């Protein structure tokens, strides 16, 4: 019998808000523990939540970017459970009336275009961060109460590759939309993964296993693959899958049982009496829609159709928002898209990965790159010299034009200098000269290289070629 897997994801994304979801405390990753706290996020007696309107805007914009319907009436609920990461011992969330309904996401998986549908997006508050040390548990409430939205997909994926493509696209859209930085290391994107397996042709889904709270995409992929294998093997051997919550042991690459259905929590949801329902008008939705930024897929199309870039370049440039935004800025100072693209994909990416810094910290600014390209286009410097200038600016900063002058990198087109170098090259290399004259046209390239070497890259290659041909052909 053949089996197929069904996968659904519940992805928690921390929104980029200045303050927490229900109080005025700031959130700052890596801050000294328990400094961004107040009576509200510490669950002190008498403290009350006040809704962060920016978070609502970001959640709805996320919904619009994913083609969700924005719920004109949504409300808050309390989800009750006792754990030291939840100061009030209940979480304010949205149970039956979330902010966003439906929605979908179209991605390419192994060359095939697939559309994955969403069930909903709801807004909630984040939990504190627990750290377990020898003999003690430490709670950092800085993260407690920060704005967190949960994007729930339908059980519509069938492989780890599907899930990975979905998450990658989701992350990219959230970054582009300015909703979240989606940094997995900072816990800004975490997913619960539901996996079930059934015989092909069976209508009902198999028993579902939930793997909780994973941030690394690589681990999510491993966990799904492991879980599909484990469940398929169970079924093939005539066994059955127990509905349960499992954890993922990243060192062993295996999932392990955490809690079975019998021991599942009863969260005792009920409407949050401290907050009013959220009402969102159609005008408000349209206003937010008009503020949405261009998404990577839209940018890719534009880079090809309007800027004439190859598909490959467009894909690389839009893969992350920071790079694409950098490219956009550079294009404000130059018309030469391909040159910008070549520099970004070549020198820039190489140097960034050597230095391990983000593009935002590059000393070559979009404007400076445009300056370098202008020097090349004006034939003031060769492309090779342009790369040198780029690296100098990247390492030490400075003005490209000044560097060209200071380092004497301007191309030499002056005939007398070129003639001297050409004569020297012809005199010193009789063999290639002979070969060229015998009809081997490619041999001229060797002579050309010699001239360029003698000029230390400053000779104008076109002029050199002309000079050599003139001397040898004449």
Partner 1 sequence: MSELNNLTIAELSEKLAAGECTSVDIVNDVLASIDSNDGKVGAYLTIDRASALEQAQEADEARAAGKKLPMLGIPIAIKDLLNVKGQPCTCSSKILEGYVAPYDATVISKLREAGAVLLGRVNMDEFAMGSSTENAALGKTSNPWNLAHVPGGSSGGSAACVAADEAIASLGSDTGGSIRQPAAFCGCVGVKPTYGRVSRYGLTAFASSLDQIGPLSKTVKDSALLLEVLCGHDKMDSTSIEMEVPSFGKNLTNDHSLAGMKLGLPKEYFVEGMDPEVEKAVHDAVEHCKSLGAEVVEVSLPHSKYAIAVYYIIATAEASANLARFDGIRYGLRVDGKDPLELYGKTRAAGFGPEVKRRIILGTYVLSSGYYDAYYKRAQKVRTLIRNDFAEVFKQCDAILAPVTPTPAYKLGEKTDDPLKMYLDDILTTPVNLAGNCALSLPCGFSASGLPIGLQIIGDSFAEETILKVGHAYEQTTEWHKLKPKI
> Given the rule CB under 8 A, which residues bind partner 1?
39, 42-51, 78, 80, 82-84, 87-90, 137, 139, 266, 268-270, 273-276
CA of 389: how far to CAs of 327, 396, 397, 407, 425, in Å? 19, 10, 10, 9, 27
d(CA 232, CA 238): 10
Is 262 in contact with 35 (CB distance < 8 Å)? no
Nearer to partner 1 by Cβ, of 16 and 36: the residue is 36
H/E element holding 5? strand 3-14
| SS3 track for 38-72 | CCCCCCCCCCCCCCCHHHHHHHHHHHHHCCCEECC
Nearest distance from C-beta of residue 271 to partner 1, angstroms: 8
Is 305 in contact with 341 (CB distance < 8 Å)? no
Nearest distance from C-beta of residue 166 to partner 1, angstroms: 31
d(CA 350, CA 342): 12
d(CA 124, CA 361): 33
Nearer to partner 1 by Cβ, of 29 and 269: the residue is 269
H/E element holding 359? none
Nearest distance from C-beta of residue 141 to partner 1, angstroms: 8
Nearer to partner 1 by Cβ, of 41 and 339: the residue is 41
Is 351 in contact with 429 (CB distance < 8 Å)? no
Nearer to partner 1 by Cβ, of 109 and 275: the residue is 275
d(CA 305, CA 406): 40
Nearest distance from C-beta of residue 248 to partner 1, angstroms: 23
Nearer to partner 1 by Cβ, of 213 and 466: the residue is 213
- Single out the residue of 207, 214, 212 nearest to residue 189, CA to CA: 214
Nearer to partner 1 by Cβ, of 3 and 269: the residue is 269
d(CA 370, CA 354): 23
Nearest distance from C-beta of residue 22 to partner 1, angstroms: 9
Residues near 209 by beta carbon (within 8 Å), at least 6 away in sequence: 194, 195, 196, 227, 231, 241, 242, 243, 244, 245, 246, 255
Nearest distance from C-beta of residue 80 to partner 1, angstroms: 6
Residues near 71 by beta carbon (within 8 Å), at least 6 away in sequence: 97, 98, 99, 100, 101, 280
Nearest distance from C-beta of residue 47 to partner 1, angstroms: 7
Nearer to partner 1 by Cβ, of 39 and 293: the residue is 39
Nearer to partner 1 by Cβ, of 80 and 466: the residue is 80
Nearest distance from C-beta of residue 73 to partner 1, angstroms: 16
Nearer to partner 1 by Cβ, of 49 and 386: the residue is 49
Token digits of residue 15: 């929104």
Is 451 in contact with 421 (CB distance < 8 Å)? yes
Bridge partners for 100 per DSSP? 70, 121
**Other residues' Cβ atoms within 10 Å of the Cβ of residue 79:** 18
Token digits of residue 269: 């949801």
Nearest distance from C-beta of residue 48 to partner 1, angstroms: 5
Nearest distance from C-beta of residue 89 to partner 1, angstroms: 4
Nearer to partner 1 by Cβ, of 23 and 151: the residue is 23
d(CA 426, CA 423): 5
d(CA 223, CA 238): 23
Nearest distance from C-beta of residue 282 to partner 1, angstroms: 23
Nearer to partner 1 by Cβ, of 47 and 349: the residue is 47
């Amino acid at each position: 019998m053949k089996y197929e897997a069904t996968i659904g994801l519940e992805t928690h994304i921390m929104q980029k808000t200045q303050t927490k979801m229900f109080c005025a405390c700031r959130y700052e990753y890596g801050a000294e523990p328990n400094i961004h706290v107040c009576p509200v996020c510490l669950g002190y007696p008498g403290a009350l939540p006040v809704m962060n309107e920016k978070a609502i805007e970001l959640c709805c914009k996320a919904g619009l970017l994913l083609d969700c319907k924005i719920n004109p009436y949504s409300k808050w609920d309390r989800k009750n459970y006792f754990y030291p990461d939840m100061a009030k011992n209940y979480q304010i969330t949205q149970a039956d009336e979330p902010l966003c309904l439906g929605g979908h996401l179209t991605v390419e998986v192994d060359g095939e275009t697939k559309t994955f549908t969403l069930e909903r997006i709801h807004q909630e508050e984040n939990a504190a961060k627990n750290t377990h040390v020898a003999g003690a548990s430490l709670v950092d409430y800085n993260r407690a109460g920060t704005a967190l939205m949960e994007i729930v997909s339908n059980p519509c994926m069938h492989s780890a590759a599907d899930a990975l493509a979905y998450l990658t696209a989701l992350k990219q859209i959230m970054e582009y939309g300015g909703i979240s930085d989606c940094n997995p290391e900072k816990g800004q994107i975490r997913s619960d993964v539901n996996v079930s397996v059934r015989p092909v042709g069976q209508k009902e889904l198999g028993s579902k296993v939930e793997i909780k709270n994973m941030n690394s995409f690589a681990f999510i992929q491993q966990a799904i693959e492991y879980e599909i294998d484990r469940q398929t093997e169970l079924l093939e051997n005539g066994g059955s899958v127990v509905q349960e919550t499992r954890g993922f042991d990243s060192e062993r690459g295996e999932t392990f049982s955490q809690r079975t259905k019998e021991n599942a929590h009863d969260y005792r949801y009920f409407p949050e009496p401290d907050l009013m329902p959220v009402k969102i008008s159609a005008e408000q939705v349209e206003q937010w829609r008009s503020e949405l930024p261009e998404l990577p897929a839209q940018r890719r199309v534009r880079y090809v159709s309007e800027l004439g870039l190859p598909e490959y370049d467009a894909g690389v440039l839009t893969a992350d928002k920071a790079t694409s935004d950098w490219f956009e800025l550079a294009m404000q100072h130059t018309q030469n898209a391909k040159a910008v693209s070549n520099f970004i994909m070549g020198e820039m990416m190489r140097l960034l990965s050597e230095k391990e810094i983000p593009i935002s910290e590059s000393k070559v600014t979009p404007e400076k790159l445009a300056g370098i390209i202008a020097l090349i286009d004006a034939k003031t410097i060769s492309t090779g010299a342009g790369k040198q200038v780029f690296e100098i600016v990247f390492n030490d900063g400075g003005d490209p034009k000044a560097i060209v002058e200071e380092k004497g990198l301007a191309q030499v087109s002056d005939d007398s200098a070129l003639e001297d170098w050409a004569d020297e090259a012809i005199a010193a290399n009789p063999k290639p000269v002979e070969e060229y004259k015998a009809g081997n046209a490619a041999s001229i390239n060797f002579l050309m290289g010699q001239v360029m070497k003698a000029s230390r890259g400053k000779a104008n290659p076109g002029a050199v070629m002309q000079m050599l041909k003139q001397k040898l052909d004449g």
